[in-house]
Amino acid sequence: MKLYGAPNPAPNPRRVRIFLAEKGIDLPETLVNMMQREHKADDFVAKNSLGQIPVLELDDGEIITETISICRYLEGIHPDKPLFGTTPLEVAKIDMAIRRVEFQLMNPVGNFWRHAHPYTAKLLTQFKDFGESNREAVARAMLWLDRELEGHDFIHGNSYTMADIAALTTVDFADWIGLPMPEDAKRLRDWHARVTARPSAAA
Amino acid sequence: MKLYGAPNPAPNPRRVRIFLAEKGIDLPETLVNMMQREHKADDFVAKNSLGQIPVLELDDGEIITETISICRYLEGIHPDKPLFGTTPLEVAKIDMAIRRVEFQLMNPVGNFWRHAHPYTAKLLTQFKDFGESNREAVARAMLWLDRELEGHDFIHGNSYTMADIAALTTVDFADWIGLPMPEDAKRLRDWHARVTARPSAAA
């Protein structure tokens, strides 16, 4: 089994590393040099037609892409310390929590990164006004998440799950591109301190 | 158990209806009047803080939102005729297929709808140039999906899964807002005819 990834600040490979650290799974990462566009080279695109990382290649050649799907597979073969839930209700609610983090928060963070950040200006056609509008959308999403955290230590209730990994990596990436947590998002800030204190966050 | 939904062309409630039809599950839908903004009213937002449909309310008051998570829950309690896979590899690969349809195709369709369609101009602040740019992004995504279908009858290999439901409803909604399948997307068109011929597509 071979895991293709990239160093921080790329948020998706970090998600897999945090997941592996939380589960105690030893799976070394083969680094793909994104600065040299190795993820868009023919041999890599033959593995993932979207030219994205991470990618998990199984010993029989099967390929799994998409961060959450890779982690879901690893959870399937290493069910201990579950991070995706075990009952149908837990599985569905953690899936729901992950999706809400992605659609509400990760999407506007990604839109700002692609359309308003100076780094991507060199690589993409930007729609700057639209990009900038996501600054407010991100703040709004963070304040929504702050309210959702009322009475909970973690994104999905009171246990740490894949939804916390999705949210932590998104919040940290957002901060790195200039979109910090709002000052008054007290619960979100407390949650961030809580999940950052876990050894896995160093991944 | 109570399912809140809305009639076509809203794509998300339709996904749940097709899923129910494929599984043979009888679960009537309580309609939420979106034209009258019932999904943004206090009593509905108390169920789903995002004010979105569909919503599944269990008999004990538990709430599940997010279309895919609702269907994943229903699959968990009705495992027959699996549409999300059964082995860890199948589950991961179908999850991956669903996510790729959503991130590659549904996202630009949604961007066009929100930022370039006359209907939503009344409701939202639009960034028209950005919105229009998604016309090309949608065509590109459909041609990518067309290539992915080479040698397969369905989105995930040779069996009908939740990924087909995600793709069918997205392609039909795209067509409804003026983004038809490209003429030369022959495999995508054949696949569309194949899944549309199933009785479930009438949902």
Radius of gyration for the alpha carbons in chain B, expressed in angstroms and rounded: 17
In the predicted model, what is the mean pLDDT of residues A98-122? 96
Residues of B in contact with A116 (CB under 8 A): none
Domain(s) of CATH 1.20.1050.10: residues in chain B:
88-198
Confidence at B106, pLDDT banded by 50, 70, 90: very high
**Could you report the per-residue pLDDT of A143-152, keeping only the tens digit for each?**
999 999 999 9
- For A102, the closest chain B residue by CA position comes to B103
Q: Between chain A and chain B, how many beta carbons pairs sit less than 8 Å apart?
A: 99
Residue-wise DSSP of B143-190: HHHHHHTTT-SSSSTTS--HHHHHHHHHHHHHHHTT-PPPTT-HHHHH
Which one of B15, B102, B127 makes the best mutation probe of the A interface by having the most chain A beta carbons within 10 Å?
A: B127
What is the rounded average pLDDT for all residues in chain A? 97
Binning pLDDT at 50, 70 and 90, where does residue B35 land? confident
The whole model's pTM is what? 0.97
Q: A15-24, A47-56, A116-125, B104-113: which range is least confident on average?
A: A116-125
Q: Which of B64, B93, B133 sits opposite A92 (nearest CB)?
A: B64
For B70-89, write each residue's pLDDT tens digit: 999 999 999 999 999 999 99
- CB distance from B22 to chain A under 8 Å? no
Is the Cβ of B124 closer than 8 Å to some Cβ of chain A?
A: no
Arithmetic mean of pLDDT, A80-88: 98
Q: What is the DSSP string of chain A?
A: -EEEE--TT-HHHHHHHHHHHHHT----EEE--TTTTGGGSHHHHTT-TT--S-EEE-TTS-EEESHHHHHHHHHHH--SS-SS-SSHHHHHHHHHHHHHIIIIIIHHHHHHHHHH-HHHHTTS---HHHHHHHHHHHHHHHHHHHHHTTT-SSSSTTS--HHHHHHHHHHHHHHHTT-PPPTT-HHHHHHHHHHHTSGGGG-
User: Among partner residues A69, A75, A92, which is closest to B73 by beta-carbon distance?
Assistant: A92
3-state secondary structure of B3: strand
CA distance A91 to chain B (A): 7
Average pLDDT over every residue of A6-10: 92
Helix axes A128-148, B128-148, angle to 10 degrees: 80
Q: Touching check for A31 and chain B: CB below 8 Å? A: no
- Is B48 in CB contact (< 8 Å) with chain A? no
CB of B157 closer than 8 Å to CB of B151: no
Q: Are A125 and B133 within 8 A, CB to CB? A: yes
Range(s) of chain B covered by CATH 3.40.30.10: 2-77
Query: What band does B139 get if pLDDT is binned at 50, 70 and 90?
Result: very high
What pLDDT band is residue A35 in, cutting at 50, 70 and 90? Answer: confident
Kindly identify which residue of chain A lies nearest to residue B127, measuring between CA atoms: A130
Give the pLDDT confidence score for residue B199 in this predicted structure.
Answer: 98
Interface test with B, best of A71, A95, A129 (most B CBs within 10 A): A95
Residue range B6-25: mean pLDDT, rounded:
96
How far is Cα B159 from Cα B150, in angstroms, rounded to an integer? Answer: 14
The CATH number of the structural domain formed by A2-77 is 3.40.30.10
Interface mutation vs chain A, best among B12, B70, B74, B96, most A CBs within 10 Å: B96
The highest-level CATH class for domain A88-202 is mainly alpha
| Residue A33 half-sphere exposure toward CB, CA atoms < 13 A | 2
Least CA distance to A52: which residue of chain B?
A: B100
* pLDDT higher than threshold 90 for residue A101: yes
**Ranges for all domains in chain A classified under CATH 1.20.1050.10:** 88-202
> Under an 8 A CB cutoff, do B65 and A100 touch?
yes
pLDDT of residue B119: 92
Residue range B140-157: mean pLDDT, rounded: 97
List CB contacts (< 8 A) between A66 and chain B: 95-96, 99-100
Instruction: Give A39's pLDDT tier (boundaries 50, 70, 90).
Output: very high
Mean pLDDT estimate for chain B: 97
End-to-end CA distance of chain A: 20
Q: What percent of chain B has pLDDT over 70?
A: 100
Indicate whether B163 pLDDT > 90: yes
Closest of B197, B196, B152, B203 to residue B171, by C-alpha: B196
User: What's residue B14's pLDDT?
Assistant: 97
As a whole number, mean pLDDT of residues B103-117 equals 97
Residue A141 near chain B (CB below 8 Å): no
CATH topology for B88-198 is: Glutathione S-transferase Yfyf (Class Pi); Chain A, domain 2 (1.20.1050)
